[in-house]
Amino acid sequence: MKVCIVFVYVLVLALPALAQQTLSIRTAAPVEDVTYVMGPDDQLKIWALGVEEISDKPVRIDPSGNIDLPIAGRVHAAGLSVEQLKSELEHRLAREVRKPEVTIEIVEYGSQPVTVLGAVNHPGVLQLSGRKTVAEILSMAGGLSPASGPYIKISREANWGKIPLQSAQPDSSGSFTVATLKVQSLLAGTSPTDNILIRPHDTITVPTAEMVYVVGAVKKPGSFALNERESVSVLQALSMAEGLGSTPKAQDSKILRTVPGSGEREEIPVDLKKILAGKGEDQALRANDILFVPDSTTKKVAYRAAEAAVQAATGVIIWGPRF
């Protein structure tokens, strides 16, 4: 019994130390601070034990990649990691201070921008704060929007070398390489090698998907992204629009399709009544097709079809599956 009491007492005494150890593991500096290579426009805080001349006032790396510090003088910081700059400063300060100890913190990242454009929720310029993959950058940009297309395009400065993707090709100027990767394989994780590391000044573009439109006597008219698909059937499109409205003239529905080489649209008759009954062929809608379902209370079907085409072409509502 005494042995058990002693064991419990020792364990209680040890708990604060164990808790502190766990906390220190959780709050340790992120890996990217160790591997990050600094550059112009990064802002640093630098402390030097025993060197009052060096305050913790933020210091920005200038366009030439340098910082100026008392005693240490002008130091080229661009291209160095935090640890490398720390070592260089301690070496310089050792001439004036015995065993100097330097601490450096990156308080603002500004030297490694990445531009994210197109069908993401928060397009703009992001800063790399360490090693980041395509998926991580897209996540930082708020993820893909429902209107995103099936491919992602990456443009990279040639001095970083060829983008490690099979599709990579130099652009016409020779100053960049450009590559594409499939959204579906990236998000599904079926091709992990596609989730490449992003480099400073990369541009990631997510093109908008091709659309089909459903208008007229349906419950939820709008535009629908094809995403990775080349087409959808009439019934699939009708399902996206949540079905027919209250007074549809389903048998007189039409597909309005652009005639190649002209701005005009041809009308393709669609008997939705038969298709829903399983007695008609479920036709395919291509990119930019408009499925028009007339209302039974409207006599001028042709006029309504033209009006629907204008509505679809200028509509801003986009419905589609979210990734």
User: Considering the domain 113-206 in this protein, what is its CATH number?
Assistant: 3.10.560.10
Q: Comparing 32-108 with 113-206, is the CATH topology the same?
A: no
CA angle, 302 as apex, 297 and 306 as ends, to 5°?
110
Q: Which CATH superfamily is domain 211-319 in?
A: Outer membrane lipoprotein wza domain like (3.10.560.10)
CB contact set of 106 (below 8 Å; sequence gap of 6+): 33, 36, 38, 42, 43, 44, 82, 129
| CA-to-CA separations, 248 to 98, 215, 219, 319, in angstroms, rounded | 88, 11, 10, 21
Neighbouring CB atoms inside 10 A of 260's CB total: 5
Q: What is the CB-side half-sphere exposure of residue 136 using CA atoms within 13 A?
A: 14
Question: Are 58 and 45 contacting, i.e. CB atoms less than 8 angstroms apart?
Answer: yes
Distance CA 233, CA 119 (A): 24
Residue among 178, 123, 120 nearest 149 (CA): 120
Q: What pLDDT is stored for residue 311 in this prediction?
A: 54
Q: What pLDDT is stored for residue 15 in this prediction?
A: 37
User: Considering the domain 32-108 in this protein, what is its CATH number?
Assistant: 3.30.1950.10
Q: What is the pTM of this model?
A: 0.66
Q: What pLDDT is stored for residue 3 in this prediction?
A: 43
Helical H segments across 101-182, by residue range: 134-140
- pLDDT tens per residue across all 323 residues of the chain: 444 444 434 443 443 443 333 322 222 333 344 668 899 999 999 999 888 888 878 999 999 999 999 999 999 999 999 999 999 999 999 988 888 899 999 998 999 999 999 999 999 999 988 789 999 999 999 999 888 888 999 999 998 999 999 999 999 998 999 999 998 888 888 888 999 999 999 999 999 888 899 998 999 998 888 877 778 899 999 999 999 988 899 899 999 998 888 778 889 999 999 999 888 889 999 888 999 999 887 655 554 554 554 454 444 444 444 33
DSSP sequence for 117-140:
EESBSS-EEEE--S--BHHHHHHH
Q: What pLDDT is stored for residue 55 in this prediction?
A: 82
Distance CA 133, CA 194 (A): 9
Where exactly are the structural domains of the chain? 32-108, 113-206, 211-319
Helical H segments across 1-112, by residue range: 2-26, 31-35, 82-93
Question: Are 270 and 234 contacting, i.e. CB atoms less than 8 angstroms apart?
Answer: yes
